[in-house]
Amino acid sequence: MEIQKSYKFSEINYKKLKEIADFKLVRDRTVFNEWFDFKYEISKYDEDYLTKLIKLNEYNIADYDEYQLFGHFISPLLNKVYFLGENFREWYQPHISGTVNGKILYGRPDFMIASGIREPEIPYFFIQEFKRSIPRSNPPLEQLLAQMASAMENNKTKQMKGCYNIGQLWKFVILEKNAEGKYKYYESVSFDSLKIKELEKIYKYLKAVKHKYCK
C-alpha cells in the first residue's frame, strides 16, 4: 500500500506547494469586484476607532514580532469586525486537516472563520501569518493557499476566500478549483493598513466576509 505524503501548513513553501498540486496565479482582479462592492457605510465611530488604531501603532509596527503585531493591531481590528453569528464564529489556530491531490495537509491556521460551536466545522475564510517581513522558507501566500485548498476539499466547494498580511500590508486572495481539478488563485492589490482610507477598505472587506459569505 502506498503511504500518503503529508505536509504541515507551517512548512509549506513554493516548492512544496508545487509538489501538492498545480496552483496558477491568474492576473485578473475583476474577480474581486463582487466582494469589494459590498455596501457598508463607515460611521464616525468606525473612523475614530480605526484612526486611533493607526496612531497607537504607526511608529512601532515595523518592529513588532508576530505576537505583538497580532495583539496590538490585528486583534483589535478583528474584534471591531466582530466575527460572531448564529452559525459561525472566529477560531484562533484551530487544528484542521484535509487531503489535496492525494496529499494530507494539516496544521493550525493563524485565524479562521468557520461554523461550529465547540470545534470548527465548515471554514469560510482564512487570515494567515501576521508577520512583519516575508520569511524566505515559509512565505504566507503558499501556506494560505494550502489551507484554503484543504478547506475547499473538506467543504466540497469550488471557491474559498482569504487574506494575508505582511506587517502593515494586506492582500486578499480568492482560490478556485476548475473542472480538471487544477487550482487558480487571484491576488488583490496591497492595502496599507497605516493609511486611514486603506484601513477603512480592509475593514469593509472583512465586514463583507461576515455578512455575505458566512452562511
Residue 131 has pLDDT above 80, yes or no: no
pLDDT digit string (tens) for 51-72?
999 999 999 998 888 889 999 9
Domain interval for residue 90: 6-213
The answer to whether the pTM exceeds 0.75 is yes
Give residue 137's pLDDT: 58
Strands (E), 51-181: 89-92, 96-100, 103-107, 111-114, 123-131, 159-166, 169-177
14 part of a folded domain: yes
C-alpha–C-alpha distance, residues 141 and 125, integer Å = 14
Can you give the pLDDT at residue 205? 98
C-alpha cell at 133: 517581513
Average pLDDT over every residue of 85-94:
93
Helix (H) or strand (E) holding 191: strand 191-192
Q: Quick check: is 148 in a domain?
A: yes
pLDDT of 157 over the 70 cut: yes
Q: What is the mean pLDDT of residues 133-140?
A: 64
What three-state secondary structure class fits 170?
strand
198 with 169: CB under 8 angstroms?
no
Which is nearest to 171 in space by CA: 194, 138, 151, 193? 193
Does residue 47 fall inside a structural domain? yes
Report whether pLDDT(49) > 70: yes
How many percent of the chain have pLDDT more than 90?
A: 83
The tally of domains found in the chain comes to 1
Exposure pattern of 145-180 as b/e (b: 16+ CB <10 Å)?
bbbbbbbbbbbeeeebbbbbbbbbebbbbbbbbeee
User: So what's the pLDDT on residue 106?
Assistant: 97
Report yes or no on 1 lying in a domain. no
